[in-house]
Amino acid sequence: MSLFERYLTLWVALCIVAGLALGALLPGVFTALANLEYASVNLIVAVLIWAMVYPMMVAVDLSSLKSVGQRPKGLIITVVINWLIKPFTMAALGVLFFQYLFAGLIDGDKASEYIAGLILLGAAPCTAMVFVWSQMTKGDANYTLVQVSLNDLIMVVAFAPIVAFLLGVTDIAVPWETLILSTVLYVFIPLVAGAVTRSALIRQGGEAAVAAFTARIKPGSMMGLLLTVVLLFGFQGPVILAQPGLIALLAVPIIIQSYGIFALGYGWAYLWRLPHKIAAPCALIGTSNFFELAVAVAIGLFGLNSGAALVTVVGVLVEVPVMLSLVAFANRTRGSFPQ
């Protein structure tokens, strides 16, 4: 892992503090930034999200899908958990905690936005960091690539309908135009741009050229994430300072979902007797989130200072320590799986 990836939680925490401070000191600046939008998409955040998403899409090799049917069990687990289970359990946890268990501890008017933020996280499976988790568990790199590529193609057509359905179930108004625009802007176009860039790099110098290119632009990707966090917490400052325990409350269902989904995927892989190099990444893909997409769509649908945007950033905060604990568990239990 790079320095930024290894200490991502620390950088996010520091950016939260910076955002809160700057939001209190320069409220006029943040108001002006919030007004720079078109069709409910904030232009500043759109640029930052693209900086995050584009390098990930360059790493996706769509040609790997030609081997999708050779070892289907790991792919079946990934697809079923990511698209038929995870979004729905996240929505259920959101309703349970924010409409019932935490009802007296949070602003009731924000409850639906918190639930929406969880739905957006649950419906966006990981695209980039899963390569790191796979490497740390000695996973099959080629198989992981196939899983990520398949997930990205499914995301293009399934993300918007699933999110819209779950938002409707929880009685949240669905702005279809903004949702579809966000999916096209942050999934489809980056995927196409990444595929075109990758093809050009392969012609120039093969996989080595792709690796060199992504290494050069990765710092910009991380910087885009951190600046987005600063912006979000600059807008959320008054709400957070009024409820200092809010971040901890928002983290609870995210953490429960992460460990629960991992247990389901890892247990399923164990029962199917998958080799560990497939079982571990398979479970970790379902556990991790494409939080860059979730942040972008939350901002587009509900605004920079919404509860939904805040939840997605809390997802960033807890992602790395939770995933590292699961990587450690997967490595300790390697002997229980066929090698």
Average pLDDT over residues 85-111: 92
Domain presence at residue 202: yes
Q: In the predicted model, what is the mean pLDDT of residues 289-315?
A: 83
Can you give the pLDDT at residue 191? 83
Instruction: Look at residue 175 in the predicted model and tell me its pLDDT.
Output: 66
pLDDT of residue 252: 96
Residue 83 pLDDT class (50, 70, 90 cuts): very high
CA distance 2 to 301: 32
Question: Residues 250-267: pLDDT tens digits?
Answer: 999 999 999 999 999 999
**pLDDT attached to residue 174:** 65
- Spatial distance between the Cα atoms of 232 and 11, rounded to a whole number of angstroms: 15
**Rounded to a whole number, what is the distance in angstroms from the first to the last CA of the chain?**
25
Question: Tell me, what CATH number does 86's domain have?
Answer: 1.20.1530.20
Place of tokens 């790991």: 74
* Token pair of 24 as six digits: 């209190």
Q: Which residues contact 238 (CB under 8 A, 6 or more apart)?
A: 23
The pLDDT of residue 81: 94
What mean pLDDT comes out for the span 302-306?
Answer: 81
Domain count, the chain: 1
| Mean pLDDT value of segment 127-142 | 78
pTM: 0.78
**Is residue 281 assigned to a domain?**
yes
241 in a domain, yes or no?
no
Q: Could you give the CA distance from residue 310 to residue 298 in angstroms, rounded to a whole number?
A: 9
Non-local (6+) Cβ contacts of 60 within 8 A are 127, 145, 148, 149, 152, 191, 194, 195, 198
Range of the domain at 155: 3-13+49-221+246-336
User: If pLDDT is split at 50, 70 and 90, which confidence band does 226 have?
Assistant: confident
231 occurs within a structural domain: no
305 lies in a domain? yes
Q: Is 38 inside any structural domain?
A: no
